[in-house]
Amino acid sequence: MTPHALSISQNPKDPDFVQDPYRFYAEMHRASPVFYWQEYGMWCAAGYDQVNALLRDRRLGRENRWGAPLNPVQGRDHLTDFDRIESGSLLEREPPVHTRLRTLVNRAFVSRSVERLRPRISQLAQELVDALPSGQPVDLLPGFATPIPLTVICELLGVPVERGNELLAWSHAMCEMYVPHRAHETEERANRASAEFGAFLTAHIEEHRHNGADDLLSALIAVRDTGEKLSDDELISTCVLLLNAGHEATVHQTGNAVKTILEQGGDPRRFFETPDLAAATIEEALRYDAPLHMFTRYAYEEIDLGPVTLKPGEQVALLLGAANRDPSAFEAPHEFRPGRPDQKNVSFGAGLHFCIGAPLARLELQQSLAVLFDRRPDLALQAPPRYRDSYHFHGLESLIV
């Protein structure tokens, strides 16, 4: 295949593509798992083996070490507050800074620490199901999918849950920055949200320092106050990242998973009859319809991708949703098969930047959906749900059942 044939045009805003990117992925798997996506202006990896290997390759990283401007005309002067928060985010840093920051928060998210949250998650799910109206349509995204991860991460960090609507608005505005080809207005909105989020946390942290609470925020404040490991800016950035990441993707995955399970027909309780089956069902839901489809990396050295060699400073897009449907890695990849022996999805990433909140997200999904379908086994989709106009973050506009 000639290099010209590897240059592909696919508008990520095309409605048909947004509703079903998997047809495009299937074409790329047949043609070439590495291709140049014209609309994004970068090389992409769609094959499972390539994505899995590149996620772990230390010759690639999230950190932009060249300071390339967001826009050569406008620069980044309008993103001062956003950049201040991003600069201290472990998501955007590489070792040794990344190692230090991740070590500080990792203990709160390991499986044995997360497991103690199971009763609270179950209680929240029960309360929300009790509040759902009977015999009439209801949107499960605001009614069920959003409150659970938002409440849990707020309580874990020690942030008032009653500020949830503000946190959601700030989070949504900031997460739009991870979508390529943003409008200038989108960037200004994200910067305002960053300033407001940072000011809120600064005031809340000062109040929190003396209340003796037993939560993650108190632990991080204690580390900051020793002056050894965590700066003021890093404390703010870490809290913002955990609050944003702690609910955004889980809300999308909850909606996608409910949609997928209801589309299978029959009694949905069969997917949650045992803890092992519930875990297998959620892993398959993560593979089948992931909430994040593209994650980018910078090349720090020359890297041979097969049809092209990346130069230092160039970006590559790792297509997580495509890797999860690669027919060379999964038998019948377009079928929903909980418990499949070839389960190895990359929805949480891999390597150094593997999602720190993965154990919590898995527990929230397993426990909340088990409660939902146990209490409401007769749930049915009112109409085929539509995905919102954002290829990068793959989630539903609404979920009316």
3-state secondary structure of 326: coil
Alpha carbon distance 396, 238 (integer Å): 27
Q: For 133, which DSSP code?
A: P
Q: What is the pLDDT of residue 74?
A: 63
65-98 confidence digits (pLDDT tens): 876 554 555 678 899 999 889 888 888 899 998 9
Q: What is the pLDDT of residue 336?
A: 98
Sheet with 294-299: list strands edge to edge: 7-8, 34-37, 42-45, 315-319, 294-299, 60-61
List beta partners, residue 387: 396
For helices 358-375 and 118-131, the axis angle rounded to 10 degrees is 40
Q: What share of the chain is helix, strand, coil (3-state, %, to 5)?
A: 55, 10, 40
List beta partners, residue 259: none
Alpha carbon distance 276, 272 (integer Å): 8
Give a three-class secondary structure readout of 233-293. HHHHHHHHHHHHHCCHHHHHHHHHHHHHHHHCCCCHHHHHCCHHHHHHHHHHHHHHCCCEC
Alpha carbon distance 164, 276 (integer Å): 32
Q: Please report, as a single letter, which amino acid is at residue 235.
A: L
Contact 34, 1 (CB under 8 A): no
Q: Please identify every stretch of the chain with a pLDDT value under 70, giving residue numbers as ranges.
A: 1-5, 67-74, 180, 225-228
Q: 299 φ, ψ to 5°? A: -85, 130
Q: Which domains does the chain have, with CATH numbers?
A: 3-375 (1.10.630.10)
Alpha carbon distance 331, 173 (integer Å): 38
3-state secondary structure of 250: helix
Alpha carbon distance 360, 163 (integer Å): 21
214-252 confidence digits (pLDDT tens): 888 888 888 776 666 778 888 888 888 888 887 889 999
Q: 44 φ, ψ to 5°? A: -130, 145
Q: What is the pLDDT of residue 31?
A: 94
**Residue located via tokens 């947004």:** 18
